[in-house]
Every structure is written in structure tokens, then in C-alpha cells.
Amino acid sequence: MKSTDELLPRLSANPWFASLPLRERRAMLAASEPVRLRAGEMLFRQGDAVGAGRGAFYGLVEGHLKVSSLREDGKEAILVVLEAGNWFGEISLIDRLPRTHDATALGAASVLAMPNEAFDALMQRAPFAQAVCRLLAARTRSLYGMVEDATLRSTRARIARRLLLLARGDATQSLHSRRDVPVSQEALAMMLGITRQTLSKELKGLVEAGAVTLGYGRIGIESLIALERLAGAT
């Protein structure tokens, strides 16, 4: 794992982390220990308790993690795909309840693990506590948006809206949209809770509208304007 001076500019590419004062960012990195994950390895499982001395608040340095739930019949729902720079796991530290979802490495990944004691100590500092409040507010807005999409919008509009989120890094929500979204159709279907067949049909409609192009393990954004128009449809 890289040193603090090497990690700082890399992780500061994330808008949330970058919004913290330098003192808090350095304190977070100094309090965290490196953890490496293999492809398919779980960082934590839904229902896991957060014990004393264990890594509890995490920063993703390299790779991708999926945050998901698995039904008894084996069907998986992906809530979000985390990219490098994201910090997560704060919910169980605040309410002291078990983990809400599984967190699994999609490939080789490196994370920083901050023990809950260090998290509690940083929460006594106003800049960090306020930043965690903003992080939770952003997650709440995102979840409300997903509920609204599921109940009020057409499948095609839901797909367009999720692609717009993914273009900004999904959980990252960068100010700038990228033109290439690294997501497989299988993963996108699991994010939306629809079948691959339904997704394939609707993606063809987005292609015909000039909004996207399809590739292996990726979806290209051809026209943000067209995608935004489709996302606003009901």
C-alpha cells in the first residue's frame, strides 16, 4: 500500500474526501490500515456486527466493490458499485447495528480500514462529523431517488437515470460525467431489479435514440442530452 503522501492526492480526487480540511484527511489516512481483497472476496456480510478494534469505516484505494443483498432464492440485488476514492461503512458505526448489505470485491481491490474507535474519535471533531452528515444526506437522497424511480417512472427512464448516475461514478457523484461507463449488462440489470431480457430490449431503444452505444462490459454515452431527455420521461 502506498504512503500517506502518495494516497492523499489520489483519494482527494473524490469530491467528498476532497471537501474535508487537510488535517482531517491526514488523520483519516494515519488511523487506517491497508487491506487487500481478491476478486470475489467479501469485505463484510449483511448482518455482520462491528466489533471493537475491527476495521469499520473503509476507503477504497484501488478496484471496485459491489454493495448488494442476496435473497434466499439466490437472486442478487446490487445497490451500488463503489469506485476508488469512496469511503463507506459509516451507517453501522452511527447506529451500532449490524451491516446492512454485503460488500464484495469485483476484482483485486485495496482498501483502507479505519477502526471504529478512530472513527468515534474523529466524530468529536466538527469538520469530520459535518462531512459524515453530508455523506449520509447524499446517500439518503440517492435512495429516495431510487424509490421514486421504481414507483413513478418507466423502465426505460429508470435505466437512463441510472446510467446518468453511473456516468458520474454512481456513489462518487462527480461534478463531471464520463462518456464511458464500465458496467456489464448483467450488473446493470441487478442494480435495477429487472431481467436481462428486459434490459436488452430497453437498451436497444436507447441506442436507437442516439443516447448510448453498447460494448463488452461497458456502455458508452453518445449524447448526454438525449439520455437526460429519456431520463425525464415517465
Instruction: Give me 125's grid cell.
Output: 471533531
* End residue of a domain, out of 84, 107, 139: 139
190 and 90 in one domain?
no
124 and 158 in one domain?
no
52 and 93 in one domain?
yes
Give the range of the structural domain holding residue 105, as residue numbers without chain letter: 4-139
For residue range 110-167, what is the model confidence (pLDDT) as tens digits? Answer: 999 999 999 999 999 999 999 999 999 988 988 888 888 888 899 999 999 999 988 8
Q: What's the DSSP call for residue 175?
A: S
For residue range 117-129, what is the model confidence (pLDDT) as tens digits? Answer: 999 999 999 999 9
Q: How far apart are CA 117 and CA 55, in angstroms?
A: 9
99 and 134 in one domain?
yes
Which phi and psi angles does 189 have, rounded to 5°? -60, -40
DSSP 214-229: EETTEEEES-HHHHHH
| Inside any domain, residue 66 | yes
Kindly report the pTM of this predicted structure. Answer: 0.85
| Inside any domain, residue 75 | yes
**Domain with 86 in it: what CATH number?**
2.60.120.10
114 and 38 in one domain?
yes
99 and 208 in one domain?
no
Task: Centre a 10 Å sphere on the Cβ of residue 99 and count the other Cβ atoms it contains.
Answer: 19
Domain count, the chain: 2
165 and 126 in one domain?
no
